[in-house]
């Protein structure tokens, strides 16, 4: 069982180790993906080489938003014209049917996630048709035991819609809040009353949704320690099962909507660190476990239980309990992980549509892991989920002599030992209470590509 270690804030270590680095939702990261030269062929290889006994995780991307949130860096189409969704859904349904035919229905779908964009942008009828199409073409569970989640914008929720989602089989929701302060909301074009959020959470509990996640962002315009403390207090009164507290990365050169944010109104680096420190203290004092990085969960949540059991996993949706699943991404920009393959659909909606309709595949990026990739992925996954490594267990599981295979990496870790980020001996290593905030930096030591990749990552903290 994983020891429950409280986060220790060490400002000196943070200043020295807070560099840019991957979030490791995959290894290798998406920067290593290569342009696909034969979309159809690589998909066929991945499907033919997969283990058909593995369950599935399905990710569905709905890119549309009625309003642009200025902080957002997601792949999205902002439009008030709801009719624009139907041509996209026609293509998405075609992709679902083709993938279902190729994969068959022997693999149970243990996890389902609708993301975006705003999945609740589409109508009730379109939502029902999309879920019916998924059930017709994949082996979705009907016992409510899977983890079937959807991202929700409370501003898009009409009366009866949450009941519809529950009836269709969704049992988890993720709600974007970001900040409850009206002035901050105006600055990022995300005006959403606390009363609206509260009513949605209460209705979700009444309807039997078994997990509610709330997303918050620190580092937005006009935020202060005092204002974000108020946001945390109001959200803690609602007591969601999970909380994600993300660091806003201001990259207007990459994300056009961010150009509408006045950089002079952003909190400075010292204030951002203070807000982050305060968030950890408040949430852990309120009984939440810091699962890792920006994720928090209540003690009875499945994320917490799986972390205690050493079976927590990490993929493109963040921390998850479904390490045994192949991930099938459907829709524009969606990423699949099938066996040793990473496959990403085109992020361009026009190219996505053309690829599905002409070739039956819209894959624009691909990567097939080699043996070294698979070994390093396993090590990084256990580090970022468990904060510890047992060298004997890793040697047995991976078929290597861990200390020999990673001799160079273990030497590179010695300064982190001296600085108090990790404890290490001949049996293994443990990330300390002070090192947990910098787990991405520890993982980077085992990343074979980190010194060869263009540095387009966010800062660790």
Alpha carbons within 13 angstroms on the beta-carbon side of residue 13 total 21
| The pLDDT of residue 62 is above 90 | yes
pLDDT tens by residue, 237-251: 999 999 999 999 899
Q: Please provide residue 269's backbone torsions phi and psi, each rounded to the nearest 5 degrees.
A: -60, -40
The per-residue pLDDT for range 18-61, each reduced to its tens digit, is 777 888 999 999 999 999 999 999 999 999 999 999 999 999 99
CATH of the domain at 400: 1.10.10.920
Query: Of the given ranges (122-126, 314-318, 421-425), which has the lowest mean pLDDT?
Result: 314-318
Residue 459 in this model has a pLDDT that exceeds 70: no
For range 159-184, the mean pLDDT: 97
Q: Are residues 277 and 412 in the same domain?
A: no
Summarised one tens digit per residue, pLDDT across range 324-346 is 899 999 999 999 999 999 999 99
Number of domains composing the chain: 2
387 and 256 belong to one structural domain: no
The verdict on 188 and 205 lying in the same domain is: yes
Q: For 87-115, how does the pLDDT look when each residue is reduced to its tens digit (9 = 90+)?
A: 999 999 999 999 999 999 999 999 999 99
The answer as to whether 89 is a domain residue is yes
Q: What is the pLDDT of residue 11?
A: 83
Last residue of a domain, one of 306, 330, 354: 330
**Selection from 307-316, 318-327, 420-429 with the highest mean pLDDT:** 420-429
pLDDT at 21: 84
Whether 341 is covered by a domain: the verdict is: no
pLDDT of residue 453: 44
Answer yes or no: is pLDDT of 1 > 70: no
CA-CA distance, 244 to 213, in Å (whole number)? 7
Q: What pLDDT is attached to residue 340? A: 95
User: What is the residue whose two structure tokens read 């201001």?
Assistant: 250
Nearest to 133 by CA among 83, 82, 99: 99
Of the residues 313, 330, 347, the one at which a domain ends: 330
Asked, for residue 228, whether it belongs to a domain, the answer is yes
| All residues at 6 or more sequence positions from 99 whose CB lies less than 8 Å from its CB, including other chains | 137, 328, 330
Domain with 379 in it: 1-28+371-461
440 assigned to some structural domain: yes
Read off the tokens for 351.
Answer: 């190219």
**CA separation for the pair 102, 413 (Å, rounded):** 45
Q: Tell whether 166 and 281 lie within a shared domain.
A: yes
407: pLDDT strictly greater than 60: yes
Same domain, 247 and 288: yes
Does residue 362 form part of some domain?
no
pLDDT by residue (tens digit) across 70-82? 999 888 899 999 9
406 and 302 in a common domain: no
**188 shares its domain with 48:** yes
- Tell me the percentage of the chain whose pLDDT exceeds 70: 97
DSSP, collapsed to helix, strand or coil, labels residue 82 as helix
Residues 164 and 48 in one domain: yes
Residue 454's pLDDT band, with cuts at 50, 70 and 90, is: very low
Q: Which of 330, 355, 390 is the last residue of a domain?
A: 330
50 and 180 both lie in a single domain: yes
Which whole number is the average pLDDT over 136-160?
A: 95
214 occurs within a structural domain = yes
Query: Distance between alpha carbon 29 and the CA centroid of its chain, in Å?
Result: 13
The string of pLDDT tens digits covering residues 258-280 is: 999 999 999 998 999 999 999 99
Same structural domain, 17 and 38: no
The two tokens of residue 176 are 């974007």
Q: By the 8 A CB rule, do 117 and 61 touch?
A: yes
Residues 102 and 21 in one domain: no
Whether residue 346 is contained in a domain is answered as: no
Q: Determine the 3-state secondary structure of 418 from DSSP.
A: helix
Residue 365 belongs to some domain of the structure: no
- pLDDT at residue 4 tops 90: no
Residue 456: the pLDDT is 55
- For residue 16, name the pLDDT band (cuts at 50, 70, 90): confident
Do residues 197 and 298 share a domain? Answer: yes
* pLDDT value, residue 3: 46
**Cα distance between residue 455 and residue 461, in whole Å:** 16
359 phi-psi bin (left φ>0, alpha ψ -120 to 50, beta other): alpha
């Amino acid at each position: 069982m994983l020891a429950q270690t409280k986060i220790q804030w060490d400002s000196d270590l943070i200043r020295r180790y807070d560099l840019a680095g991957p979030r490791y939702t995959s290894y290798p990261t998406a920067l290593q993906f290569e342009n696909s030269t034969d979309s159809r062929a690589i998909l066929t290889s991945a499907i033919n080489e997969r283990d058909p006994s593995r369950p599935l995780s399905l990710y569905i991307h709905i890119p549309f938003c009625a309003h642009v949130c200025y902080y957002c860096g997601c792949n999205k189409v902002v439009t008030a014209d709801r009719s624009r969704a139907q041509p996209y859904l026609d293509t998405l349904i075609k992709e679902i049917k083709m993938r279902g035919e190729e994969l068959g229905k022997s693999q149970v779908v243990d996890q389902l996630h609708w993301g975006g964009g705003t999945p609740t942008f589409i109508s009730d009828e379109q939502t029902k048709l999309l879920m019916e199409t998924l059930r017709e073409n994949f082996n979705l569970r009907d016992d409510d035991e899977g983890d079937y989640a959807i991202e929700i914008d409370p501003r898009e929720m009409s009366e009866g819609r949450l009941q519809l989602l529950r009836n269709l089989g969704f049992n988890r929701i993720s709600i974007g809040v970001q900040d409850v302060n009206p002035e901050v909301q105006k600055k990022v074009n995300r005006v959403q009353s606390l009363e609206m959020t509260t009513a949605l959470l209460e209705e979700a509990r009444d309807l039997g949704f078994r997990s509610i996640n709330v997303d918050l962002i620190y580092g937005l315009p006009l935020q202060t320690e005092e204002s974000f403390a108020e946001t945390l207090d109001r959200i803690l009164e609602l007591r969601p099962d999970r909380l994600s507290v993300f660091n806003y990365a201001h990259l207007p050169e990459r994300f056009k909507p961010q150009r509408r944010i006045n950089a002079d109104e952003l909190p400075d680096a010292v204030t951002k660190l203070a807000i982050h420190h305060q968030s950890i203290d408040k949430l852990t004092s309120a009984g939440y476990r810091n699962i890792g990085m920006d994720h928090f969960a209540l003690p009875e949540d499945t994320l917490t239980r799986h972390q205690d059991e050493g079976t927590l996993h990490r993929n493109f949706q963040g921390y998850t309990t479904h390490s045994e699943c192949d991930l099938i991404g459907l829709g524009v920009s969606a990423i699949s992980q099938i066996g040793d393959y990473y496959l990403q659909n085109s992020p361009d909606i026009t190219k996505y549509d053309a690829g599905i309709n002409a070739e039956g595949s819209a894959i624009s990026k691909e990567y097939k892991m080699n043996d070294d990739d698979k070994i390093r992925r396993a090590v990084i996954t256990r580090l970022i989920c468990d904060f510890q490594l047992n060298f004997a267990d890793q040697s047995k599981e991976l078929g290597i002599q861990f200390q020999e295979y990673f001799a160079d990496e273990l030497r590179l870790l010695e300064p982190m030992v001296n600085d108090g980020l990790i404890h290490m001996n001949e049996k293994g290593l443990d990330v300390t209470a002070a090192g947990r905030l910098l787990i991405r930096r520890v993982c980077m030591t085992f990343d074979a590509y980190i010194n060869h990749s263009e540095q387009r990552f966010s800062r660790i903290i």
